[in-house]
A and B are shown apart, each in its own frame.
Chain A
Amino acid sequence: MEGFDQHEGLVIPFDRSNVDTDQIIPKQFLKSIKRTGFGNYLFDAWRFLDEGDLSKTPNDRQINHEFVLNDPRYQDASILVARKNFGCGSSREHAVWALMEYGIKCVIAPSFADIFYNNCFKNGLLPIVLKEENVDRVFEIITKKKAVRMDVNLEKQTISLDGGTKYSFEIDENRKVPLLRGLDEIGMTLDHVETIRAFEEKHKRSMPWIFRNEEK
């Protein structure tokens, strides 16, 4: 996994709450057995007027010009600011893959759904929980005529907008460090092979019925 340290980029004001993962990447795209190829279909039902499928490229599509991602000001944006409960619904990690492949590096919201939040850290996407009143203030700034840039610093736990507005954010240390370093989660857990084996032996003695298949 690629780590996340600091990032500077254009901000998209995504003024919706309860954005669910069915919207982030609709089901017809989940048929792929790959981790890539989802970026073109990010927010498909909102971004395009026609119904998408895996055979269509952006050039074949009818653009929904009213949707914020299609606003010329926000092309090449990489930071998405949204309202509360972002990423609710289905556990599909494809939602994170789609956001990242589109070019999003960081999502800022007052709250996230649990599984989505967790999935972000497995892929190097930074989800920032920012106090609701600060999100309100960020929206005021970024919805002005001109697109705004933001600097996100994970090490210092700060976001800074063009013009000087700056906020700090909270993040668990045990989420932050692996993300900063881009650590391999599985490798980290496998450093504890002996502990896991020892637990498993003990567990097998107290609840042997869970392991009954192994006896066959």
Chain B
Amino acid sequence: MTGKTLYDKVWDAHVVGSRDDGTTIVYIDTHLLHEVTSPQAFEGLRLAGRSPWRRHANLATPDHNVPTTGRHMGIAGITDTIAKEQVIALDDNCKEFEILQFDIHDKRQGIVHVIGPEQGLTMPGTTIVCGDSHTSTHGAFAAIAHGIGTSEVEHVLATQCLIQQKSKNMRINIAGSLSAGVFAKDVVLAIINQIGTAGATGYTIEYAGEVVKQLSMEGRMTLCNMSIEAGARAGLIAVDDKTIDYLRGRPFVPKADQWSAAEEYWRTLVTDVDAEFEKEITIDGTSLEPQVSWGANPEFVCGISGRVPSPSEFEDSSKAETAQRSLDYMGLIPGQKMVDIPIDRVFIGSCTNSRIEDLRAAAEIVKGQHVSEDLQAAMVVPGSGLIKEEAESEGLDYLFKEAGFEWRDPGCSMCLAMNADRLLPGERSASTSNRNFEGRQGHQGRTHLVSPATAAASALAGYLRDPRDYM
């Protein structure tokens, strides 16, 4: 018998049983909620007269819609009346169903995928779901974590289970070591470029290899976060000392009496040496340079020293057509050097890159410098109130503000531009977020996905830039 993958192990520990139709009932340990995809699920519960199966399994926070300024005013500070109604609905639903919420006034409020790990609620060997596709982030802690739709949010609330089909196993080995100025974000962009936006559809990805071992937990979260951009619902990484060290002492982790049992179990959460993967690829980390997206989907990526490709370079005709559409939308011409592309706004934030390490990397570059006069704006949006506090205690806010950045309050912000933070039509951003779809950051806005260091260097220059030139 062959061994088990990490995914197999966690999956097997959560199989409740089978339904009459042969599907698997899987137990969900932790359920995260936010204001956008939950109101219809709570309404469904009410209509059916149901209540949450295990209310303590849930944690809610408003993140998608909240403004990143004027937060001392709380809900009264939300000027968009429809957004305000949604944030109030989350408040009301959490009160009615007795669900723990870090509300808009709470300094623990933040992007749902940032606060789960930060609170130690994201634990190895657990199943975690949320009505948001970037739930894959939590996989960095050897958890099976993935996004679900609103019907499934209701299903989890009512039954603490999901009806699932097991994914196939895929391993991505990242060999070598990253050079200075190259980060987890560059690795994941290079992976999506290589395997495509549907390259891992139907799979759970395990990230492994020397580069993954060297990455911090923050970097691992960035890697797992964008699994969905490669088509995989979930990505995960084995437990090691870094996982344990990160979790120790956080509010929701096991207390002293249970810690050693938990740690002992968590350390078994690695893929067996004789386990088999249906698909396996290897990427060389050593040769990677900082990456930047040029198109309107996250597989259209190249190195910062590269040029905008010509659609005719793509053999697949549908890809060539999508590339042409991308160039038209992005206002780029084949052959243009990436570093010759001027930008209007810089966004450092999102569940991909808003953690303390991301802010430190960006601050290191902008320290003592000033953003280009040609920029419309550059902003930093920390992932949570606690990260904001930590960054301020390190003086990072000062470095950013001196350099001409706006220092904002936590939320999803310009990653998806549901609040007031957005690109105007035709504007171009260097953004540390995860999606460069048409209109994602604002109607007719143009997004270049980059690492925090690349975003910071680009802010200084007013053009896309290699951060290594500023280090």
Contacts and interface: CB of A to CB of B under 8 A. Distances in A.
Interface of A: 16-18, 20, 22-23, 26-28, 30-35, 45, 51, 54, 83-85, 88-94, 96, 111, 113-115, 118-119, 122-123, 172-174, 177-178, 185-186, 188-192, 195-196, 199-200, 203, 206-214
A191 B20 CA distance: 10
B201 A113 contact: yes
Interface in B33-56: 36-37, 39-40, 43, 48, 50, 53-54, 56
B198 A32 contact: no
Contact of A91 (B133, B163, B262, B439): B133
B159 interface: yes
Contacts of B36: 30-31, 92
A31 B65 contact: yes
Contacts of A32: 82, 86
A185 B48 CA distance: 13
A62 to B, nearest CB: 13
A194 B438 CA distance: 47
Contacts of B48: 186
Contacts of B452: none
Interface of B: 13-14, 16-17, 19, 21-23, 25, 27, 29-30, 36-37, 39-40, 43, 48, 50, 53-54, 56, 64-65, 80, 82-83, 85-86, 89, 123, 125-126, 131-133, 146-152, 154-155, 158-161, 163, 165, 197-198, 201-202, 228, 231-233, 252-255, 258, 261-262, 265, 297, 318-319, 321-322, 325, 416-418, 425, 435, 437-440, 443-444
B149 A195 contact: no
Contacts of A177: 21
A51 B438 CA distance: 13
A33 B149 contact: no
Contacts of A190: 158-159
B150 A93 contact: yes
B86 A91 contact: no
12 contacts: A16-B322, A23-B437, A89-B437, A91-B131, A114-B233, A115-B228, A173-B22, A192-B16, A203-B27, A207-B13, A207-B125, A209-B123
A196 B149 contact: no
Given A30-B418, A89-B133, A203-B27, A84 B439 contact: no
